[in-house]
Amino acid sequence: MYQKTKGKTVIKFSIIWFLLFIIIIGLAYSFFKNKIFATNEYKEKKQIVAFEENQKAFDIVEIMLENTNSNKKMVNEKREVVFTTEYEENPNLPKDEEQIKQEGKNGKIQVTALQEYQNEEMKNEEIIESTTLEEVVTQIVYVGTSEFMKKYNVHIDDNMYLLEAEDLKTEAKDEADTITSIPRYLNVTLKEAGEEWIKVNYKGQEGYLKTSNITSETVTPLITEQNRIAELKNNLNIDMDLTTSSGLTLSDYKTILSNISLDKNKIFEQNAEAFYNAEQKYKINGMFLVAIGIHESGWGTSKIALEKGNLFGYRAYDSDPYNSASSFENYAEGINTVAEALATRYLYVNGTQISDELTARGTYFNGTTIQAVNTRYASDQGWYEKVYGYMQYLYNRL
């Protein structure tokens, strides 16, 4: 009886210990299965997790939008940046006149922005990122301050004119040295504006003139014609180049040669156009031609002039002037003949193409001045001074 009971007790304890062992093994497995060990299996699992995480990076803007109301949205776009304008005062522009110094140019930027809307109308915008694509260029505008330039309606490098003769000074003060004297009505080029003095250029020389004696075409409309005539007179000198055009118009010729009491028979007055045409055709100063005719014919009163239509004593030799002188059907023919002879033989070197039909021979060429022509044209060595005296008289009739 006792032995049987003891055997059963041993079996019961064995079963209990076995169950405890199983429970302990189960608990151990549950405890250690989530623990990290330095095994290849762990490394492989860790690498896979890292790869999966890089496939979907965090976007802070998206997170912000997900956690705010639906009235916000993100934009990424190119935008134009409008240039601004700066103004600078300029004393060399008429007062209040504007002139662009630097052209403005709009720029471009790439913008990422968070916009907030209310009733489909944007109420706020927050710039998250901005990148410059094209630089904006500021426009710079000059604003004139010169009362003088506004009064005379002139700009730098425009012509201005002297109402009276005046000295060109080295400095803007009365006691400064004189560079040269500028005759009345001649023009200067404005270089710097001032209220009492201006800086100008006159025939390549720069200096200063008082503004009290200066005018412009706007203020004095007739000044340009007065200037033209003054320039013609100013260019007249005894050493002038006779192959250079006189610059006289047909109207000038008629003005100069009309109503001269010494021209008793009106020969020069009636042939003003013939002298003008000869200048254009033969490229010589026409007033030089007129002056020779006046000098040689005594204002058209000589026998050769009256009877042979020859105002120049052309081909008249000292031994027998009248009989040797050429005869012409009219004064215009004689004017053309002498103009051609002067051009082809005296004033142009051999081979010079005067016109399509006319080439210079240069037979008696000694230069292009009156004195140079005198060398072979007249036996009187003072002839050139007398001819020049008549030219002065004619020019002064303008």
Residue 221 clears pLDDT 80, i.e. is over it: yes
The type of residue at 170 is T
Percent above pLDDT 70 for the chain: 82
For position 3, what pLDDT does the model report? Answer: 44
Task: Provide the mean pLDDT of the chain.
Answer: 88
Residue 70 clears pLDDT 80, i.e. is over it: no
Tokens, residue 190: 């404005």
| 153-222 against 236-395: fold identical | no
Q: Is 238 helix (H, G, I), strand (E, B) or coil?
A: coil
Strands 139-146 and 85-94: parallel
For position 27, what pLDDT does the model report? Answer: 61
Using one digit for the tens of pLDDT, what is the confidence trace for 90-138? 999 999 999 999 999 999 999 999 999 998 899 999 999 999 999 999 9
For position 229, what pLDDT does the model report? Answer: 96
Superfamily of chain region 153-222: SH3 Domains (2.30.30.40)
Contact 100, 140 (CB under 8 A): yes
Q: Averaged over 145-162, what is the pLDDT?
A: 96
Q: What is d(CA 248, CA 16) in angstroms, rounded to the nearest whole number? A: 145
In the 3-class helix/strand/coil scheme, how is the chain assigned residue by residue? CHHHHHHHHHHHHHHHHHHHHHHHHHHHHHHHCCCCCCCHHHHHHHHHHHHHHHCCCCCHHHHHHHCCCCCEEEEEEEEEECCCEEEEEEEEEECCCEEEEECCECEEEEEEEEEEEECCEEEEEEEEEEEEEECCECEEEEEEEEHHHHHHCCCCCCEEEECCCEEEECCCCCCCCEEEEECCCCEEEEEECCCCEEEEEECCEEEEEEHHHEECCCCCCCHHHHHHHHHHHHHCCCCCCCCCCCCCCHHHHHHHHCCCCCCCCCHHHHCHHHHHHHHHHHCCCHHHHHHHHHHHHCCCCCHHHHHHCCCCCCCCCCCCHHHHCCCCCCHHHHHHHHHHHHHHHHHCCCCCECCCCCECCCCCCCCCCHHHHHHHHCCCCCHHHHHHHHHHHHHCCC
Give the domain 71-143 fold.
Answer: Resuscitation-promoting factor rpfb fold (2.20.230)
For position 198, what pLDDT does the model report? Answer: 96
Q: How many CB atoms lie within 10 A of CB 271?
A: 23
Q: Averaged over 157-164, what is the pLDDT?
A: 97
The type of residue at 223 is I
- pTM over cut 0.85: no
Using one digit for the tens of pLDDT, what is the confidence trace for 314-350? 998 888 999 999 999 999 999 999 999 999 999 999 9
Tokens, residue 8: 């059963």
Using one digit for the tens of pLDDT, what is the confidence trace for 224-282? 999 999 999 999 999 999 999 999 999 999 999 999 999 999 999 999 999 999 999 99
Q: Averaged over 175-204, what is the pLDDT?
A: 96
Domain boundaries, the chain: 71-143, 153-222, 236-395
Q: How many CB atoms lie within 10 A of CB 209?
A: 23
Q: What is d(CA 338, CA 361) in angstroms, rounded to the nearest whole number? A: 15
Cα distances (angstroms) measured from residue 164 to each of 76, 180, 193: 72, 14, 19
Q: Apex CA 306: angle with CA 301 and CA 312, to 5°?
A: 75
Output phi, psi for 8, to 5 deg. Answer: -65, -35
Ranges assigned E (strand) in 213-300: 214-215
Give the domain 236-395 fold.
Answer: Lysozyme (1.10.530)
Q: What is d(CA 321, CA 315) in angstroms, rounded to the nearest whole number? A: 8
Q: Which of 35-49, 119-133, 181-195 has the lowest mean pLDDT?
A: 35-49
Contact 256, 392 (CB under 8 A): no
